[in-house]
Amino acid sequence: MKKILILAAMAAFAFSCAPKQTPQELLTIHDAEINEIIAQMTLEEKVEMLHSKTNMSSEGVPRLGIQDIKYTDGPFGIREENGDGFRSLGWTLDSATYFPTGSALAATWSKEMAYKNGWAMGKEGRLRGKDIILGPAINIQRLPVGGRTYEYLSEDPVLAAHLSVEYTKGSQDAGTAVCLKHFALNNQETDRGSVDVIVDERTMREIYLKPFEAAVKEGGAMCVMPAYNKVNGYYCSENNHLLNEILREEWGFKGMTVSDWGGTHSTMGAALGGLCVQMTGDNYFGQALIDSVRNGALDESVVDNKVREILRLRFAIEPVPEDVANTVMTSQPETQKIAYEIAQKSIVLLKNEGTLPINKEVKKIAVIGQNAVLTTASGGIGAGVKTLYEITPLEGIQARAAEAGVEVVYAPGYKNYAMRMGWGRRGPGAGAPVDPLVANSTDEPADPALLAEAVALAKDADMVIFFGGTNKSIETEGSDRKNIDLPCGQNEVIQALYEANPNLATVLISGGPTDIRVLEQYSPAIVQGWWNGLEGGTALAEVLFGDIAPSGKLPFTFPLQLQDSPAYAMGNFGQKSSEDLFTLMYRLDATGYTREQINEYIANLPKPESHYTEGLLVGYRWFDTKNAPVMYAFGHGLSYVDFEYGDLSLKQKKDKIQVSFTLKNLGDMEADEVAQLYVRRPESQIERADKELEAFERVTLQGGETKTVTLEFPISELAHWDMETNGWVVEPGKVEILVGTSSDKILKTIETNI
């Protein structure tokens, strides 16, 4: 007995002393078994695993009882079940929870919310029998006009990295792997299938790769999706530097890679360049791959490595039994509640001269603007969600107003721009009868009849809530916005409304920033309301009526005008666009082109380049460094209370810096504040942005309550990518620590040396 105890104690000691396995290393624990499986497989069986089986699955090894891999879009809701060509199968149990979109989640600045979001997606993924969620989408929001800016998280790599890590952990803890997308530098939709991003190594590492690196190394992401575009001359799906040298060798990635849909371009290039699965089709990773091995061009071990990486994920993610999957509705009360909580924390109060929260004297509200009634779950292509339900802003306001005995009237105010049939004006929907509420272009002026109706309602109400912004036909995958102007004459409408009734608040419903130089003059209060999930309308009404204090903070800068933003100011964006590759392929296929003709067509498309010469100066890094004015700064967001920040105290350990201070809620209601810590390196010998975010924390405080907040970050996070040694280097010297409520409102500072 004694001997057993001693052995057990020794084993426990040995275990506690054993170096902890990284999340990526944990993926390799079944490698011995996996290798035995590979040894039993034929080349044909192996290659069968390396391309799509259906639009959303790839094959397992049926002979050996290994299940297929089932994929689902992401990132804001498990996508409805589709057949070939993404046609809905019309199932009844596949309505999912529509979660707030990327920039809305990021506006919570909450690691807890990101974890819960991932967990809830993972949970719903299991209900649908899925193994991999195609998300989170974590590219940097480089361009205000970017079609997928709303899907992505932030212009800041540190904010995006923290949230990506948590989303990844949450989803994988719930049993569904993530597929980080789009790796890498898919920052524009214009020519996304062919554009060559020309970027220097330092900018790439410090800005664009950061969220991916963190989600792989800390989050343990099991799958990565190479993007459509090229980076420095090579398609991402065959980019040896990105997929092999950085992802696998440097970051220790042990999982699998799957090309974006239609984003594979060669057999040998992709095989050697680090791609595991061709999605979709098998023209490169089917017979051609078998032939390449058989004729000696490619070593079979390259194929084996891919199979091993796929099987690691297969072993880590337990397949959902067929008779368990899809037996209950995908969206569940538990996950709906998470979407609701995220929405409550994401709403940003940009400006308030006193019209919010809605005054108790207000007995009649005129809600004006089509964005109050448009649903936002579907549309935008891959990220659209067949939601179980969706509370629109108007419905949320009506329900809350009814409780308070307040009357609500509504008018559309302006026409809406909507793409017909998803094909704009060219496709199958062209020529369909036009709805009188639908505009022909985003720059159509205000409609006189709609305007007059809205003004009459405004005059007769105690308060006006104007809903402006964009919609999912304007901000969408596959194309970038032409500009960031408010569409369909919204500027005229807001001016007329304000003149009719200045007791007015504006709510912007959009995923990215808009040019609000005119709107701002006529809006005593402005709220950024996002595309905020199935409970978005409920959460918004709570903020407007003052049941909860707004607490979201901008994850990107609202520039004064588009031309001020870095890529435009440097003349780096605004190239001529050809049709989006993915929609182009779909269209050609539908019009009878053969696979060969499609390939030839694509091969002859113009070869555009995008030069990232603004370098590290993305988003607020540009505006701060250039001292350029903005409309609303990165990190900005007001509350219904004020907060008081105490002086900073600093503790420096060998590997990290901790900064503590007191934070007091000066108001009389519960409210959250997001405290932000930025770093400036005043004596630096290398080029740097004026300041960079390093840490942040969302803190909940009751009215009058004070808490001590500690923000910390590893000193290694201060490293820059050194172009000479091709590695990370921490430059010694003075470090200024700046703590504040937004990037342009620093309240306390302290200095140290490293």
Residue numbers annotated as active site: 260
Chosen residue from 208, 261, 467, 620 binding ligand BGC by CB under 6 A: 261
Residue closer to ligand BGC (CB basis): 379 or 468: 379
Please, what is the minimum distance in Å from the beta carbon of residue 262 to ligand BGC? 7
Distances (CA, A) of 698 to 24, 75, 160, 552: 29, 23, 15, 10
Distances (CA, A) of 539 to 305, 408, 547: 48, 17, 10
In the range 361-400, which residues lie near ligand BGC by CB under 6 A?
382
Task: Report the C-alpha gap between 696 and 656 in whole angstroms.
Answer: 15
For the beta carbon of residue 750, count every other beta carbon within 10 angstroms: 16
Task: Report the C-alpha gap between 96 and 101 in whole angstroms.
Answer: 14
Cα–Cα nearest to 262, from 52, 99, 443? 52
Task: Report the C-alpha gap between 487 and 506 in whole angstroms.
Answer: 15
Residue closer to ligand BGC (CB basis): 150 or 582: 582
Please, what is the minimum distance in Å from the beta carbon of residue 222 to ligand BGC? 16
Is the CA virtual torsion 243, 248, 251, 254 positive or negative?
positive
In the range 654-673, which residues lie near ligand BGC by CB under 6 A?
none
Please, what is the minimum distance in Å from the beta carbon of residue 478 to ligand BGC? 8
51 DSSP 8-state letter: B
Cα–Cα nearest to 686, from 730, 656, 727? 730
Binding mask 186-225 for ligand BGC (x = CB under 6 A): ----------------------------------------
Task: Report the C-alpha gap between 122 and 330 in whole angstroms.
Answer: 11
Element holding 306 (H helix, E strand)? helix 300-316
Residue closer to ligand BGC (CB basis): 119 or 582: 582
Both structure tokens of 44: 């044909």
Residue closer to ligand BGC (CB basis): 38 or 231: 231
Task: Report the C-alpha gap between 567 and 615 in whole angstroms.
Answer: 9
Both structure tokens of 289: 């791959």
Please, what is the minimum distance in Å from the beta carbon of residue 223 to ligand BGC? 11
Residue 352 — φ and ψ, nearest 5°? -155, 110
Please, what is the minimum distance in Å from the beta carbon of residue 134 to ligand BGC? 4
86 DSSP 8-state letter: G
Q: Which positions ≥6 away from 565 have C-beta within 8 Å?
A: 143, 144, 557, 559, 622
Residue closer to ligand BGC (CB basis): 137 or 631: 137
Please, what is the minimum distance in Å from the beta carbon of residue 174 to ligand BGC? 19
Please, what is the minimum distance in Å from the beta carbon of residue 225 to ligand BGC? 7
Residue closer to ligand BGC (CB basis): 260 or 395: 260
Chosen residue from 98, 208, 251, 582 binding ligand BGC by CB under 6 A: 582
Residue closer to ligand BGC (CB basis): 60 or 226: 226
Please, what is the minimum distance in Å from the beta carbon of residue 186 to ligand BGC? 8
Task: Report the C-alpha gap between 481 and 148 in whole angstroms.
Answer: 10
Extended beta strands in 585-705, E state: 609-611, 643-645, 649-652, 656-665, 671-680, 692-701
Tell me, by CB under 6 A, how many residues bind ligand BGC: 8
Q: Is 198 exposed, middle or buried (0-12, 13-18, 19+ CB in 10 A)?
A: middle
Q: Does 260 engage in binding with ligand BGC (CB under 6 A)?
A: yes
Residue closer to ligand BGC (CB basis): 133 or 358: 133
Q: Does 584 engage in binding with ligand BGC (CB under 6 A)?
A: no
722 forms beta bridges with 727
Element holding 177 (H helix, E strand)? strand 177-183
Please, what is the minimum distance in Å from the beta carbon of residue 420 to ligand BGC? 20
Q: Does 102 engage in binding with ligand BGC (CB under 6 A)?
A: no
369 DSSP 8-state letter: -
Q: Which amino acid is at 328?
A: V
Per the document, the length of the chain is 754
In this structure, the strands spanning 177-183 and 745-753 are unpaired
Please, what is the minimum distance in Å from the beta carbon of residue 76 to ligand BGC? 12
Residue closer to ligand BGC (CB basis): 374 or 585: 585
Contact 230, 608 (CB under 8 A): no
Residue 280 — φ and ψ, nearest 5°? -105, 175
Q: Does 134 engage in binding with ligand BGC (CB under 6 A)?
A: yes
Chosen residue from 73, 191, 341, 480 binding ligand BGC by CB under 6 A: 73
Task: Report the C-alpha gap between 391 and 4 in whole angstroms.
Answer: 62
Residue closer to ligand BGC (CB basis): 73 or 564: 73
Residue closer to ligand BGC (CB basis): 79 or 681: 79
For the beta carbon of residue 604, count every other beta carbon within 10 angstroms: 8
Please, what is the minimum distance in Å from the beta carbon of residue 276 to ligand BGC? 16
Task: Report the C-alpha gap between 109 and 132 in whole angstroms.
Answer: 25
Q: Does 235 engage in binding with ligand BGC (CB under 6 A)?
A: no
Report, in angstroms and rounded to the nearest whole number, the Rg of the chain calculated over CA atoms. 26
Cα–Cα nearest to 424, from 377, 374, 476? 476
Please, what is the minimum distance in Å from the beta carbon of residue 330 to ligand BGC? 17
Residue closer to ligand BGC (CB basis): 283 or 660: 283
Contact 399, 444 (CB under 8 A): no
Q: Does 181 engage in binding with ligand BGC (CB under 6 A)?
A: yes
Residues in contact with ligand BGC by CB under 6 A are 73, 134, 181, 260-261, 382, 477, 582
